[in-house]
Amino acid sequence: MLVLGFESSCDETGVALVEWAGGALPRLLAHALHSQVRMHADYGGVVPELASRDHIRRVLPLTEAVLAQAGRTLGAVDVVAYTRGPGLAGALLVGAGVACALAAALERPVLGVHHLEGHLLSPFMGADPPAFPFVVLLVSGGHTQLMRVDGVGRYAMLGETIDDAAGEAFDKSAKLLGLGYPGGPALARLAEQGDAKAFTLPRPLLHSGDLDFSFAGLKTAVLTQAKKLGEQLPARAADLAAATQAAIVEVLVRKSLAALEQSGLRRLVVAGGVGANRALRAQLDAACARRGVRVHYPELELCTDNGAMIAMAAAMRIQAGVQQAERRYAFDVRPRWPLDASP
């Protein structure tokens, strides 16, 4: 079975081909990505209308590139998959529209995928794929969640952020430090040159006893520090970046360990853009090694948004018998869509 997948929920256009036969794990044949980061950088964040327009320009050339890379023709595609939500409505509609139009022309079935399920299953394309059950720490730009995963489509929420996501905390703090958009990777780079102990920042909800997160207060604390530093801010930015990263990472690590303990599971999967953070990976690796817990990550290039994870999630849902693709081309998108309510 050959699945062609489209991702267009935010500021990356992603297209990919995944194939499987029998019960073997689906395999990524090729994927291509266009990031709109440079286009949005001048505005300090994603401009939804520009995002939609750019997806439209990129999606078919990327599809041609993926087919050429895999040495397959469009006619060989068995199923077309797309991100149905959550995300920007106009951006989602581009991927959904193109996927359904192609599928209708090819007379093939389509399947709409939950973006976070794509992230969650992306480590199955890695060199060290996990096995069910596991705890997943989902840390993207808009979501911070801990879930128990018992199989494809079997997701139980353990805890989530009550305000900002960890990615947002990275991005907003980076903005306060003058690092532009998207701030996460820039803040992480700057943090490598700083001393995390130079500032004491709050670790919100660290001792709350539950598995929820809160990062809005941290952003305020960074703002307060930045204001206090005034003209000294540029000279101390690396230290403040390091302290910010340390606070975010400590909360994520401690809550992940608590989720493992509460669920009695010994396997952790980390997915989503913040999963690319080196400090987070190093501290999770060390903490989990001490406890005999296995940790799995997606390949670095598949941590942030991409089409491969969407094609993969569709393939795994079909293969597991959780959902079948259908020849129904009257598509809709779901800009807001909780994962544990996924069909």
3-state secondary structure of 145: strand
Q: Does 188 bind ligand KG4 (CB under 6 A)?
A: yes
CB-CB contact of 331 with 97 (8 Å): yes
Cβ proximity of 28 and 312 under 8 Å: yes
Shorter beta-carbon distance to ligand KG4: residue 19 or 171: 171
Is the bond into 133 cis (omega within 30 degrees of 0)? yes
Q: Which of 46, 103, 268, 276 binds ligand KG4 (CB under 6 A)?
A: 276
Q: Is 182 in the site for ligand KG4 (CB under 6 A)?
A: yes
Hey, which residues between 290 and 329 contact ligand KG4 (CB under 6 A)?
304-305
168 binds Zn ion (CB under 5 A): no
Residue type, 75: G
Minimum distance, C-beta of residue 82 to ligand KG4, in the bound complex (Å) = 15
Number of CB atoms found within 10 A of residue 144's CB: 30
Per-residue DSSP letters for 192-250?
TTS-GGGS----TTTTSSSS-B--HHHHHHHHHHHHHHGGGHHHHHHHHHHHHHHHHHH
Q: Which two tokens stand for residue 288?
A: 């989990």
Q: Give the residue with the Cβ less far from Zn ion, 140 or 173.
A: 140
**Which CB sits closer to ligand KG4, 199 or 297?**
297
In terms of DSSP H, where are the helices of the chain?
A: 37-41, 48-70, 89-106, 115-121, 166-176, 183-191, 216-229, 233-263, 278-291, 308-319
Choice between 113 and 251, CB closer to Zn ion: 113
Decide: 34 and 51 in contact? Cβ < 8 Å: no
The answer to whether 177 contacts ligand KG4 (rule: CB under 6 A) is: no
Task: Say whether residue 277 binds ligand KG4 (CB under 6 A).
Answer: yes
Whose structure tokens read 């990275």? Answer: 170
Q: Could you say which residues in the range 11-70 bind ligand KG4, by CB under 6 A?
A: none
Interface with Zn ion in residues 297-326 (CB under 5 A): 305
Q: Which does 276 bind (CB under 5 to 8 A by kind): ligand KG4, Zn ion, none?
A: ligand KG4
The counts of H helices and E strands in the chain are 10, 10
Q: Which of Zn ion, ligand KG4, none does residue 239 bind (CB under 5 to 8 Å by kind)? A: none
Among positions 226-285, residues that touch Zn ion (CB under 5 A) are: none
Kindly state whether residue 140 participates in binding Zn ion, applying the rule CB under 5 A.
yes
Q: Coil, strand or helix: which one is 131?
A: coil
Q: How far is CA 237 from CA 9, 19, 23, 181, 229, in A?
A: 32, 46, 51, 16, 9
Closer to ligand KG4 by Cβ: residue 33 or 325: 33
CA 58 centroid distance within chain: 21
- DSSP assignment of 17-29, as one string? EEE--TTSPPEEE
Q: Does 117 bind Zn ion (CB under 5 A)?
A: no
By a kind-dependent CB cut-off of 5 to 8 A, residue 219 interacts, out of ligand KG4, Zn ion, none, with none
Q: How many residues bind ligand KG4 (CB under 6 A)?
A: 20
- Tell me: does residue 123 bind ligand KG4 (CB under 6 A): no
Q: Which does 167 bind (CB under 5 to 8 A by kind): Zn ion, ligand KG4, none?
A: ligand KG4
Asked if residue 147 lies in contact with residue 338, where contact means CB atoms within 8 angstroms, the answer is no
Q: Which is nearer to ligand KG4, 45 or 133 (CB)?
A: 45
Q: Which of 17-25, 59-67, 136-144, 229-237 is the region at the interface with Zn ion (rule: CB under 5 A)?
A: 136-144
Binding interface with Zn ion (CB under 5 A):
140, 305
Binding interface with ligand KG4 (CB under 6 A):
10, 119, 140-142, 167, 170-171, 182-185, 188, 272-274, 276-277, 304-305
